[in-house]
């Protein structure tokens, strides 16, 4: 299915229902998955709901100030115990028969509890809690896998690249309230792979957006269109990030650009970060979290069957930005990325196009090409970890290598292979 | 970008009940809307821009599922997530993209039909406060189909080549997760 050495990928990985079910068991259940930003939970009782793979999740802030994540499914007969996107509450009451859970997930009230015999103990019937939860500079991740490495280790070499948007401000980051959510016909990997590796598509797919953004209206100058750049991939974790290294390849909102003191940033994060990952770039944390530093976009590609994904996109801001700068970043993000964004709308078109024809028998037997930059992977002496050329498919090959490896490995919840 | 004027907030501005406009005004407003829908369905976005006031605020906030007691917060605030939050200038910028010949999400172009109804016109100190409903059908390539349904609250001012100019518009999609891969038209 995946030949990551020669860079060939079988399209069945985008369409096959059996592979999709295996993916939920072996790729999503064992991995660290993005839940949201700590700024979404300001005080005790704040909660939001999301998904890990296709499993519905409640994330709440308890009386002790701890953030916890639970399966949003009543232990009695399985209804969701919370149907709001977010809010503030004292407890979660199931509207089916009235079992009530507190902010720590404990079963705190059962109507007609006398009807159960003496073996029934509410302590056994709390909400199912994730095995591990942690945040990296404000981004909350969780996993069901008790034996997964701790979050900082799982992010591995990608942390340096994430710091280009998470660590510019000593005060940290916040998010704009609310999430843009939309659904599209396309397997989640089409998007996750693209953000990990595919800078190659930018000039063609986004030609119209690049034209209207450029001062002349004719598109970027050729030294920017053909910018040099690097692409990172994390062999252990499957993560990837790419970025131009041309100083003018920085398609940011003017007000936001003026807000930054680049001398300070050079001192704080180093010249290489400012000249690389902080320019117009993108990245994916395996499996399904992606980001765009310049646009302030962070997003998750929720799998919804082999043929569909749901995109949830936030705008991330530095805490010390003034209201005017925050507003400029919010507007820039929604006008460029998001369902009406002048960049994003063309990405959606490509993914649904690739998906819509993938069911043909012959179509499905013709491999896809991820061969650019084969053999170019190296340590470049400037950017940490393994890197290759900006247009390389190396991070894509690595993404699918990691994916195939997980697909072939029994997860912690399975009997080991003979 | 130019400084943005305040949004029309559904549920507050719309409830200050102005007097319903007379028959002739009502007729002119519905004709204006029919012309607008025709312009959008013909893909004459440049002409549509002519219907917009220079100080336009065009806003489509995201709507969320909230507990009933927090329902008042279900429509996001002007500084929160939105599907559109535009000025005339930013709309012109979006429209220029369609004219580049390389806007692939609309190449070949979609077929759309904008249906506008349930129009109520009220007098307002700054012009006319008009509420309406829309149903926009988009059909693309072989059989890709989207239906965008929602409501509009507009502030119209007399003037311009079409008799009115749109000064403010607040769009509420009847959606939480938007069921479309992108939004490539206006409402
Ligand atoms: S299913 Fe929740 S109380 Fe019965
Ligand atoms: Fe793209």
Q: What is the pLDDT of residues B48-88, one digit of tens each?
A: 999 999 999 999 999 999 998 998 899 999 999 999 999 99
Ligand 1: which residue has its CA nearest to atom 3?
Answer: A97
**How distant is the Cα of B73 from the closest Cα of chain A, in angstroms?**
9
pLDDT at A226: 83
pLDDT at B1: 41
pLDDT at A144: 98
Tell me what the mean pLDDT of segment B116-140 comes to.
96
Dig out the tokens for B63 from the structure. Answer: 């709507």
| Residues of chain A contacting residue B184, judged by C-beta atoms under 8 Å apart | 340, 345
Dig out the tokens for B118 from the structure. Answer: 């349930």
Nearest-Cα residue of chain B relative to residue A81: B67
Chains A and B form CB pairs within 8 A to the count of: 136
Nearest-Cα residue of chain A relative to residue B96: A212
Residues 6+ apart with CB under 8 A from A228: A244, A245, A246, A390
> Residue A45: is its pLDDT beyond 80?
yes
**pLDDT tens for each residue of A299-314:** 999 999 999 999 999 9
Q: How far is CA B158 from CA B55, B123, B167, in A?
A: 14, 12, 10
Chain A stretch 64-83, residues whose beta carbon is closer than 8 A to a beta carbon of chain B: 83
pLDDT at B6: 85
3-class DSSP state of A279: coil
| Residues of chain A contacting residue B76, judged by C-beta atoms under 8 Å apart | 177-178
> Residue B175: is its pLDDT beyond 60?
yes
Tell me what the mean pLDDT of segment A285-294 comes to.
97
> Residue A216: is its pLDDT beyond 90?
no
pLDDT at A84: 97
Contact in structure between B162 and B170 (CB atoms under 8 Å): no
Contact in structure between A56 and A73 (CB atoms under 8 Å): yes
Q: pTM of the prediction? A: 0.96
| pLDDT mean across residues, chain B | 93
> Residue B146: is its pLDDT beyond 70?
yes
Which of A83, A178, A205, A296 to probe by mutation at the B interface, max B CB count within 10 Å?
A178
Task: Please name which of A16, A84, A78 lies closest in space to residue A50, comparing C-alpha atoms.
Answer: A84
Q: What is the CATH number of domain A33-134?
A: 2.102.10.10
Tell me what the mean pLDDT of segment A380-403 comes to.
97
Q: Could you tell me where the DSSP H helices lie in B44-179?
A: 45-50, 88-98
- In the numeric block, the tokens 């909660």 are attached to A47
> Residue B40: is its pLDDT beyond 90?
yes
Q: Which class for A237: exposed (0-12), middle (13-18), buried (19 or more C-beta within 10 A)?
A: buried
pLDDT at B13: 56
Of the options 3.30.465.10, 3.40.630.30, 3.90.380.10, 1.10.12.10, the CATH number for the domain spanning A149-413 = 3.90.380.10
Chain B touched by A47 (CB under 8 Å): no
Q: What percent of chain B has pLDDT over 90?
A: 85
3-class DSSP state of B108: coil
Chain B touched by A179 (CB under 8 Å): yes
Query: CA A160, A162, A167 angle in degrees (round to 5)?
Result: 90
> Residue A416: is its pLDDT beyond 70?
no
List chain B domain ranges. 20-173
Nearest-Cα residue of chain B relative to residue A340: B183
Q: What is the CATH number of domain B20-173?
A: 3.10.450.50
φ, ψ of residue A269 in degrees (nearest 5): -115, -5
pLDDT at A219: 84
Dig out the tokens for A77 from the structure. Answer: 């007969």
A365 versus A342: the higher-pLDDT residue is A342
Chain B stretch 101-130, residues whose beta carbon is closer than 8 A to a beta carbon of chain A: 101-105
Q: Could you tell me where the DSSP H helices lie in A262-305?
A: 262-269, 271-275
A99 C-beta closer than 6 A to ligand 1: yes
Bond before A396 cis per omega within 30 degrees: no
Ligand 1: which residue has its CA nearest to atom 4?
Answer: A97
CA distance linking residue A42 with residue A231, whole number of Å: 36
| Residues of chain B contacting residue A301, judged by C-beta atoms under 8 Å apart | none
Give the 3-state secondary structure of B72-101.
HHCECCCCCCEEEEECHHHHHHHHHHHCCC
State the closest ligand 1 atom to the C-alpha of A99, by its place in the atom list counted from 1. Answer: 3
pLDDT at B12: 57
Give the pairing of strands A55-61 and A67-71. Answer: antiparallel
| Residues of chain B contacting residue A295, judged by C-beta atoms under 8 Å apart | none
CA distance linking residue A396 with residue A244, whole number of Å: 17
Q: What percent of chain A has pLDDT over 90?
A: 91
List chain A domain ranges. 33-134, 149-413
Q: Which of A71, A79, A92 to mutate to test the pocket of ligand 1 (most atoms within 8 A of CB)?
A: A79
DSSP 8-class letter at B70:
G
Query: H or E stretch including A369?
Result: strand A368-369
> Residue A418: is its pLDDT beyond 50?
no
> Residue B4: is its pLDDT beyond 70?
no
CA distance linking residue A100 with residue A79, whole number of Å: 12
């Amino acid at each position: 299915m995946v030949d990551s050495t020669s860079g060939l990928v079988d399209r069945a990985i985008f369409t096959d229902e059996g592979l999709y079910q295996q993916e939920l068991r072996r790729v999503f259940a064992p991995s660290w998955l993005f839940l949201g930003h700590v700024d979404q939970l300001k005080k005790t009782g704040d909660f939001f709901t999301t998904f890990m793979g296709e499993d519905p999740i409640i994330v709440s802030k308890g009386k002790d100030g701890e953030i916890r994540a639970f399966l949003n499914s009543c232990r009695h007969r399985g209804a969701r115990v919370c149907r709001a996107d977010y809010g503030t509450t004292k407890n979660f009451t199931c509207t089916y028969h009235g079992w009530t859970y507190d902010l720590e997930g404990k079963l705190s009230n059962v109507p007609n509890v006398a009807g159960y015999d003496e073996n029934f103990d509410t302590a056994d019937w709390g909400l199912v809690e994730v095995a591990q939860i942690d945040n990296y500079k404000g981004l909350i991740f969780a996993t069901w896998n008790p034996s997964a490495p701790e979050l900082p280790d799982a992010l591995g070499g990608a942390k340096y690249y994430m710091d280009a948007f998470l660590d510019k401000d000593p005060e940290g980051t916040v998010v704009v309230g609310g999430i843009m959510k939309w659904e599209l016909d396309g397997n989640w990997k089409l998007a996750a792979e693209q953000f990990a590796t595919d800078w190659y598509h930018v000039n063609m797919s986004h030609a119209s957006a690049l034209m209207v953004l450029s001062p002349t209206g004719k598109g970027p100058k050729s030294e920017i269109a053909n910018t040099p750049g690097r692409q990172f991939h994390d062999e252990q974790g499957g993560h990837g990030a790419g970025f131009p290294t041309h100083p003018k390849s920085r398609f940011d909102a003017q007000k936001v650009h003026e807000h930054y003191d680049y001398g300070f940033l050079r001192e704080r994060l180093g010249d290489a970060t400012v000249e690389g990952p902080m320019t117009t770039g993108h990245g994916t944390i395996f499996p399904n979290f992606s980001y765009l530093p310049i646009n302030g976009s962070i997003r998750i590609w929720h799998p919804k069957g082999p043929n569909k994904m749901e995109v949830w996109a936030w705008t991330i801001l530095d805490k010390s930005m003034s209201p005017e700068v925050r507003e400029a970043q919010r507007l820039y993000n929604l006008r460029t990325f998001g369902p009406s964004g002048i960049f994003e709308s063309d990405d959606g078109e490509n993914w649904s196009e690739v998906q819509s024809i993938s069911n043909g028998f012959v179509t499905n037997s013709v491999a896809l090409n991820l061969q650019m930059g084969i053999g170019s992977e190296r340590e470049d002496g400037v950017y940490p970890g393994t890197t290759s050329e900006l247009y390389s498919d190396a991070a894509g090959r690595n993404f699918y290598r990691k994916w195939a490896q997980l697909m072939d490995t029994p997860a912690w919840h399975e009997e080991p292979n003979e | 970008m130019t400084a943005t004027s305040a949004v029309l907030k559904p549920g507050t501005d719309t409830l200050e009940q102005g007097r319903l406009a007379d028959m002739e005004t009502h007729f002119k407003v519905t004709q204006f809307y029919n012309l607008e829908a025709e312009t959008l369905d013909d893909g004459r976005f440049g002409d549509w821009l002519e219907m917009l006031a220079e100080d336009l605020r065009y806003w489509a906030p995201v709507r969320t599922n909230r507990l009933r007691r927090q329902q008042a917060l279900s429509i996001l605030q002007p500084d929160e997530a939105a599907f559109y939050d535009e000025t005339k200038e930013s709309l012109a910028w979006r429209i220029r993209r369609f004219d580049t010949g390389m806007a692939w999400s609309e190449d070949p172009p979609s077929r759309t039909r904008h249906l506008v109804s349930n129009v109520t016109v009220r007098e307002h100190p700054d012009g006319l406060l008009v509420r309406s409903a829309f149903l926009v059908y988009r059909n693309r390539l072989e059989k890709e189909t989207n239906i965008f349904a929602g409501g509009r609250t507009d502030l119209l001012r007399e003037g311009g080549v079409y008799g009115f100019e749109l000064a403010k518009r607040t769009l509420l999609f009847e959606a939480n997760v938007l069921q479309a891969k992108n939004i490539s038209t206006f409402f």
